Amino acid sequence: MNVVKVGFLGFGNVGSGAYKILKEKRQEIFHREKINIEVAKILVRDIHKKRSVPVQPYLLTDDIEDIVNNPDISIVAEFMGGVEPARKYILSALENKKTVVTANKELIAKHWPELEKAAQKNGVGLYYEASVAGGIPIIKVVNESLQANDIHEIMGIINGTTNYILTKMSEEGRDYAQVLKEAQKLGYAEPDPTADVEGIDAMYKLSILASIAFHAKVPVDFIYREGITSITAEDIEYGKELGYALKLLAIAKREGDAIQARVHPTFIPLNHPLSAVRESYNAIFIKGDAVGNMMLYGRGAGDMPTGSAIVSDIITACQQKGAYRYTTFYNENHPSAYICYLSNWTSEFFIRMTVRDKPGVLAKIAGVFGKYGVSIASVIQKGYGGDTAPLIFVTHPAGELSMKSAIEDIKKEEDVLRVENVIRVER
Ligand SMILES: NC(=O)c1ccc[n+]([C@@H]2O[C@H](COP(=O)([O-])OP(=O)(O)OC[C@H]3O[C@@H](n4cnc5c(N)ncnc54)[C@H](OP(=O)(O)O)[C@@H]3O)[C@@H](O)[C@H]2O)c1
């Protein structure tokens, strides 16, 4: 049986996880799948660095040519991260007729068409299961197991760091800054948490996932994005009182040729399956016309879960032997002409404000909402016996633009001291 030689680009969290799995399970994979996989070379920045997973020094290199120009290597697996030089190295591997497996969501979200064209031209595969939700096999499920469906809605918790932070804020009533610091200490958040807490990481993943689910390009530039940095323990507490859990959701909906895609903090009812997803776990809730509602749940990051997705892609690549699958849509960087990308979608809203505690304020604010056609579903008004009081509204479905205009007008009311937060609600 031929040995399939794989070149690794990177040996950090994901690389060492994939290496461990391939090493420990080589015999088992061989017996089960009749594929003999060997890691032949590993590109790193520093070949002298101490590694947490032991590796023979002769396997390490800091010269990309040892992999992309090695005729024995037929599969290149990339987990370096970032756009450059990963893009250049992957293109070079594809041009040299090597199938590529990658965990790099930013690269796929931004340069997918270029990479896929190079793969097609050279008759090799491009796999990216690990780029969305780590160990959850969502790409394979959408591409291969749900082909019978028109998928019209995806709602996902696809960033573990923010879910960990929001869980702690909710369960322990603590502030964002405090929990973030703790998450950084425990290794759940990066020293620079921007990509996670501002929703950038989730936006890349949503771009990839929505594109394959809707068979239409959903470019990163068309995804509305809002992070969790302005969320307070009070927002979460009042949400709970109203029967909601707060999550950073990646949401995409398709109706005919109209697509909306957005990442933002979202209240969901406590009986929604996504509300039970705690700590750093991920889950993706999908609505298909044939399958109905379904949800996949699991580890969205980590060396072994992400390594699991990488190894699965490597095995699939070996099994497909030239019959590679490419995207089903016109995969270009620019938006598709036949798709209407919506920015004025409809949702319910939670609005928390601080007002002067005096008669008539509630009626005035209700009047402004009425002027913009926003109808109120419920109100919490609390007087603490002081001059000011919190006032919380939940609306019926309203358009984004109507809500923005209503909030601008409400801010001008002299008895409204602050609009503290506006958070969308989904069901
Ligand atoms: N971490 C996760 O749980 C997870 C989950 C899903 C997807 N991903 C994606 O997987 C990728 C890797 O993440 P990670 O957490 O494994 O990163 P990481 O721990 O920082 O590892 C990066 C590896 O790439 C090597 N590297 C970086 N730049 C290089 C360069 N210019 N030349 C040669 N080698 C270079 C580093 O070499 P040295 O070791 O010598 O520094 C290191 O071994 C990212 O795209 C990430 O978004 C990660």
**Catalytic member of 20, 98, 168, 205:** 205
pLDDT by residue (tens digit) across 173-192?
999 999 999 999 999 999 99
Give the pLDDT score at 322. 81
Measured from the CB, is residue 208 less than 6 Å from ligand 1? no
Å from CA of 204 to ligand 1 middle: 17
Å from CA of 10 to ligand 1 middle: 5
CA torsion through residues 60, 66, 67, 71, sign: negative
In this model, does residue 384 exceed pLDDT 90?
no
Mean pLDDT of the chain: 97
Measured from the CB, is residue 44 less than 6 Å from ligand 1? yes
CA torsion through residues 206, 138, 17, 45, sign: negative
Å from CA of 184 to ligand 1 middle: 18
Tokens describing residue 15? 């690389």
Contact 80/16 with Cβ under 8 angstroms?
no
What is the residue-wise DSSP string for 378-410? EEEE---SSSEEEEEEEESSEEHHHHHHHHHHH
Measured from the CB, is residue 282 less than 6 Å from ligand 1? no
In this model, does residue 134 exceed pLDDT 90?
yes
Query: Which residue's CA is minimally distant from atom 14 of ligand 1?
Result: 13
Give the pLDDT score at 385. 77
Contact 129/309 with Cβ under 8 angstroms?
yes
**Which helix (H) or strand (E) segment is 186 a member of?**
helix 176-186
| Catalytic status, residue 5 | no
Measured from the CB, is residue 108 less than 6 Å from ligand 1? no
- CATH code of 346-425, in short, is 3.30.70.260
Measured from the CB, is residue 128 less than 6 Å from ligand 1? no
Å from CA of 9 to ligand 1 middle: 8
Q: What percent of the chain has pLDDT over 90?
A: 96
Give the pLDDT score at 333. 84
- The full set of domain ranges for the chain reads 3-133+305-320, 138-299, 346-425
**Mean predicted confidence (pLDDT) in 16-34:** 98
Q: How confident is residue 386, by pLDDT bands cut at 50, 70 and 90?
A: confident
Calpha distance 156→148 (Å, rounded): 21
Measured from the CB, is residue 85 less than 6 Å from ligand 1? yes
Q: Which CATH number fits domain 3-133+305-320: 3.10.129.10, 2.40.240.20, 3.40.50.720, 3.30.365.10?
A: 3.40.50.720
**Mean predicted confidence (pLDDT) in 73-80:** 98
Contact 155/249 with Cβ under 8 angstroms?
yes
**pTM to 2 decimals?**
0.98
Q: Going by CATH, does the domain composed of 138-299 fall within 3.30.360.10?
A: yes
Q: What percent of the chain has pLDDT over 70?
A: 100
Ramachandran category for residue 72: left, alpha or beta (phi over 0 → left; psi -120 to 50 → alpha): alpha
In sequence order, which residues have a C-beta less than 8 Å from that of residue 71 and are 6 or more positions away? Answer: none
